[in-house]
Chains A and B, each alone.
Chain A
Amino acid sequence: MKIAYYPGCTLKTTAKEFDISTKASTKALGIDLVELPRWNCCGTVHALAKDDVMHHLAPLRNLLRVEEMKQEGLVDEKRVVALCAMCYNTLKRSNQAFNADPDKAGKVRESMDNEANVYSGQVEVEHLLETLRTQGWDKVQARVTKPLKGLKVAPYYGCLLLRPRGIGIDNADNPTIMEDLLHALGADVIDFSYKQKCCGSYHTVYMKEVVADLSNRILTQAQAAGADIVATACPLCEYNLGNRQTEVVKKYPHFNSIPIVYFTQLMALAFGLSEDETALGMNKPDPRPILKEKGPI
């Protein structure tokens, strides 16, 4: 199955481990992700103001690329898989806004008159977790060669994977999609009450102390519930919960470090893939000591 893959900027820079482990683990499952030949930044946040048409161009241009890939036979369907929660949210919301408002769609088409083709609005945007769910968790389970037995993993969703309503990939109040994946990988799944709480998002740039407060709260809760490690699906969450632990320790000296990894890295690990493919040496803090202690590596 050939599906278009939109990596987005961050998966090519600070979150390379997400990109690497995604390619490796999906390949192991027989999912052929084909990267968009000429993708551009999605804009990262959805244009919430009703009169803002301009900011829909960037995400919709990417969807036009997907349509062209289908025409050229590079992919089997008019479907695109995103990994970064922000990209997923922005692409999906712009697509929805385009299809819901003919006036807006007309303005977008007019502004994209330099394109060889016209976007139809028919591309489906989905997150890799949804692709896996549609395929069936049994398919994932069947590929596991090294079950993550004894590893206590707390899934952290954050905001944009679940909200707003009509966009989120699972129930906003009680999501289970990441839990289902982790069960299939053989991990001990830890539920905790802060899994949907915002990590502070882009305030990490100009208000990192606030992010330190939020990360402290989220991670302390995960640890209190017994987690060895936290799994996430967003490069900004990973940064705020992971790299920002340096700030957390400064503010809360009793804080104990806990590693944050992408769900795709845990997949690659459970599928018995190589060190290069799990890319676990790229996360901060380093998850390898706890993974060695608990058995998976």
Chain B
Amino acid sequence: MSSEIQGLVLHPSPGNKVFRDRVKELSGEKVELCFQCGACSSGCPMTQEMDYLPSKVIRMVQLGLEEALESKTIWVCTSCFNCEVRCPRGIDIANVMEALRQLVLRKKYDRVVLNELTDEQIKELPQVAIISSLRKLTA
């Protein structure tokens, strides 16, 4: 191997590995299998609201970049599993998104506030909508 090519090899720091392994453990997904084909991102119905495409978030996890936790993408994902049925590597991307959300939520973070809803909204909205948004977006 020439020294020029060797220079391109990534060397994750121990901290990167800890983060990556934590996400793998929590999601149960082998994120290293992803080869960046982009099928998840092309089928995702929510990409217009995301800062990073789902495939890019997976790449960030592979590299152990904790910046993935600051991404808007993890909060926009609705767990519709369109990516799960499309991934040729068998990764359930929705599980990875959930793991990333959980890592943030478990530090007592609330993405949304129930009290901001009016009585009228609570009466009109389907229960499944209210309960699932609180399950997904609050600590």
Contact = CB atoms under 8 A, between A and B. Distances in A.
The answer to whether A and B assemble together is yes
Interface of A: 8-10, 13-15, 41, 43-45, 48-52, 55, 84, 86-87, 158-160, 162-165, 172-173, 196-198, 200-207, 210, 213-214, 235-236, 239, 243
B85 A172 contact: yes
B30 to A, nearest CB: 13
A82 B92 CA distance: 25
Contact of B25 (A48, A50, A158): A50
B125 A198 contact: no
Nearest to A43: B135
Nearest to A173: B85
Nearest to B81: A163
Band of interface residues on B: 35 or more
Contacts, number: 127
Contacts of A214: 45
B119 to A, nearest CB: 14
A235 B25 CA distance: 34
B33 interface: no
The DSSP consensus for interface residues of chain B is helix
B81 A164 contact: yes
Contacts of B117: 205
A41 B131 contact: yes
Given A48-B94, A235-B126, A206 B27 contact: no
27 contacts: A9-B131, A14-B127, A41-B131, A43-B135, A44-B131, A48-B27, A48-B79, A48-B95, A49-B99, A50-B26, A86-B128, A87-B128, A164-B81, A164-B92, A196-B82, A198-B45, A200-B45, A200-B78, A201-B79, A201-B80, A202-B130, A203-B78, A204-B129, A205-B121, A206-B112, A210-B46, A239-B126
Contacts of B125: 14, 204-205, 239
A52 B101 CA distance: 13
Contacts of A55: 135
A45 B132 contact: yes
Contacts of A162: 85
B4 interface: no
A45 B94 CA distance: 12
Contacts of B130: 202, 205
A285 to B, nearest CB: 15
B135 A45 contact: yes
B73 to A, nearest CB: 13
B80 A202 contact: no
Contacts of A200: 45-46, 78
B67 interface: no
B46 A198 contact: yes
Contact of B129 (A52, A173, A205): A205
Given A49-B95, A236-B128, 12 more contacts: A14-B127, A44-B127, A48-B98, A50-B26, A84-B128, A164-B85, A172-B85, A196-B82, A202-B128, A206-B112, A214-B45, A235-B128
A14 B102 CA distance: 30
Contact of B81 (A14, A41, A159, A235): A159
Nearest to B112: A206
